[in-house]
A and B are shown apart, each in its own frame.
Chain A
Amino acid sequence: MRAFTAFSPAGARTAKQQLGSFRPVQGSSSRRTVVVQARQAEAGVGIFGTKAGMMTYFTEAGLAVPATVISLESGNYVTAVKTPETDGYAAVQGETDAAARLASAGPHAALGRRAAAAAAASTQALGASRCRALPTAAAHGIDHHAPTRMHAQVGYKVVAERKVRKPELGHLAKAGCKPLKHLREFKLKDASKVAEYTPGQELDVNAIIKVSDHIDIAGTTIGKGFQGTIKRWGHRRGLMTHGSKSHREHGSTGPGSTPGRTFPGLKSAGHMGNVRRKVRALEVLLVDTERGALVVKGSVPGKRGNILEIAPAKIVGKNC
């Protein structure tokens, strides 16, 4: 049986493949295998934060650098720890906005095609209580890509009990957690790292993030609505005068009778923004546990109030 990678780059997948949570793959042998596409493993268990705004930060060296302030609000509890023995895969579950929206919305309508794949992955990551994908997957004898990987589910933002759905409340009660709005699993390659976490445990920011560390931050980008090719893809506009009628048009969409069609993947107008994006390797400038704030160098997706997933940076050759 040939080994199929579940983690091909998102851009390389076709839309059809992205939309399904399970991708049937026809192998060279007569046996069919189904590969579960899951969110990629993180370098470590992460936490959630809320984007608070930007500021100029003076470093010790005297540099004034653009920085983003991330508020660490109530929450960041470990809500579940998953191992290959119990769930067929391993995770630490946590709670945030984006993940919760993905999980509760069901159809991944608000997201782009590429994000749908991530959504499917997060649905899988959100645990057995929330989605039917897992038992179904198990029933079909799915070959999990990395059975040695561990997951930790982390929860964020304590809310009123009435604001959380009952099945989810039950799931949280099992871990002895308060009602939490956002949940997300952090999948790890290293099983021993997940073993350090127990459900119900409050995550210590200082233990996870230190000053001058590099972190990956994921969040939903600002939605721009339906945009033309100039804003969306950086195309150039035509002449506004001198008889030109092509002001902000997209231009040619391809050759003529041969091939008689437009090639897939053509850059055209459409919905822009409002997708999950990850900014990699941002430097941590300040960890202020007293104020519950994290200051990182550079910008992060979304506007003020956007829920962010923060995890140690993945550095090729070092931790991934």
Chain B
Amino acid sequence: MLSQNTLMQQRPFVASTGLRAPPRFPVAHSVRGLAPLVDELKAAQARTGLPDVQIGDSVRIGLLVQEAKSSRVQRVDGTVIAMAGSGSTKTFVVRRIFQGVGVELSIMLHSPVLSSVEIVRRGKVRRAKLYYLRELTGKSARLKEIFVTKGDKAAKAARIG
């Protein structure tokens, strides 16, 4: 009733003429806004159960390669030297030396092409982009490994759980 009065004060012609009858149909408001709808669809596309890939990790990934009639999985080993994006558009760059030539693959983490990701070892790094590895070859291009103990794993699991 109060709100109705307020409305009448704002629009006196409505009150004076009384032409408008109360709404006969209930007005259906959209349940959510437009941006949350996009977010929801993005979330629906995102994959779950992916390992926590971080910069400096040595990873072994499987890529689905579509050939003429069948598809196979191409294994790629390398180091994660950069990550970009967030949510379903998150990408990571895997670098490896192939036949003496540096090769980098930029892969979308949530892409269905990525059939598997396995973290072989964690490297100790102090920056988010390891582009300095491009200038280094051989032994100097290695990263110091972080050894994860059982205790650490348990502690982390406890934090997440």
The B35-52 residues at the A interface (CB cut-off 8 A) are: 35, 37-38, 40-42, 45
* A residues near B40, Cβ cutoff 8 Å: 291
Is the Cβ of A161 less than 8 Å from the Cβ of B111? no
Q: Does A269 contact B (CB under 8 A)?
A: no
* A residues near B25, Cβ cutoff 8 Å: 158, 161, 178-179
Q: Does B119 contact A (CB under 8 A)?
A: no
Q: A116-132, CB under 8 A of B: which get 1 and which 0?
A: 00000000000000000
| Known A71-B30, A74-B28, A179-B25; contact A60-B37, beta-carbon cutoff 8 A | no
* B residues near A56, Cβ cutoff 8 Å: 42, 45, 88-89, 108
Q: Does A211 contact B (CB under 8 A)?
A: no
Q: Give, as a whole number of angstroms, the nearest-CB distance from A205 to chain B.
A: 15
Q: Does A58 contact B (CB under 8 A)?
A: yes
Is the Cβ of A52 less than 8 Å from the Cβ of B37? yes
Residue of A nearest to B22 (CB): A161
Candidate in A52, A61, A158, A305 with the most chain B CB atoms within 10 angstroms: A52
Q: Does A62 contact B (CB under 8 A)?
A: yes
Is the Cβ of B89 less than 8 Å from the Cβ of A288? no
* B residues near A293, Cβ cutoff 8 Å: 37, 41
Is the Cβ of A161 less than 8 Å from the Cβ of B34? no
Residue of B nearest to A59 (CB): B112
The B73-94 residues at the A interface (CB cut-off 8 A) are: 88-89
A69 to B41, CA, bound (A): 9
A55 to B44, CA, bound (A): 12
A35 to B98, CA, bound (A): 71
The A28-65 residues at the B interface (CB cut-off 8 A) are: 50-58, 60-62, 64
A212 to B82, CA, bound (A): 35
Q: Does B66 contact A (CB under 8 A)?
A: yes
Number of contact residues on B: which range applies? 20 to 34
Is the Cβ of B64 less than 8 Å from the Cβ of A55? no
* B residues near A74, Cβ cutoff 8 Å: 28, 30
The B1-38 residues at the A interface (CB cut-off 8 A) are: 14, 20-21, 23-25, 27-28, 30, 34-35, 37-38
Q: Give, as a whole number of angstroms, the nearest-CB distance from B156 to chain A.
A: 29
A158 to B23, CA, bound (A): 12
| Residue among B20, B28, B89, B110 making CB contact with A162, cutoff 8 Å | B20
* B residues near A52, Cβ cutoff 8 Å: 34-35, 37-38
Residue of B nearest to A286 (CB): B41
Is the Cβ of A69 less than 8 Å from the Cβ of B37? yes
Is the Cβ of B111 less than 8 Å from the Cβ of A53? no
Q: Which residues of B contact A (CB under 8 A)?
A: 14, 20-21, 23-25, 27-28, 30, 34-35, 37-38, 40-42, 45, 64, 66, 88-89, 108, 110-113
Instruction: Known A-B contacts: A52-B35, A53-B35, A64-B89. Give 20 more (CB < 8 A).
Output: A52-B34, A53-B37, A53-B38, A55-B38, A55-B45, A57-B45, A58-B108, A58-B111, A61-B66, A62-B64, A62-B112, A64-B111, A71-B34, A71-B37, A73-B30, A160-B23, A178-B25, A179-B27, A291-B40, A292-B30
Q: Which residues of A contact B (CB under 8 A)?
A: 50-58, 60-62, 64, 69, 71, 73-74, 158-162, 178-179, 286, 288, 291-293, 295, 304-305
CB-CB nearest 5 A-B residue pairs: A62-B113, A52-B34, A53-B38, A74-B28, A161-B23
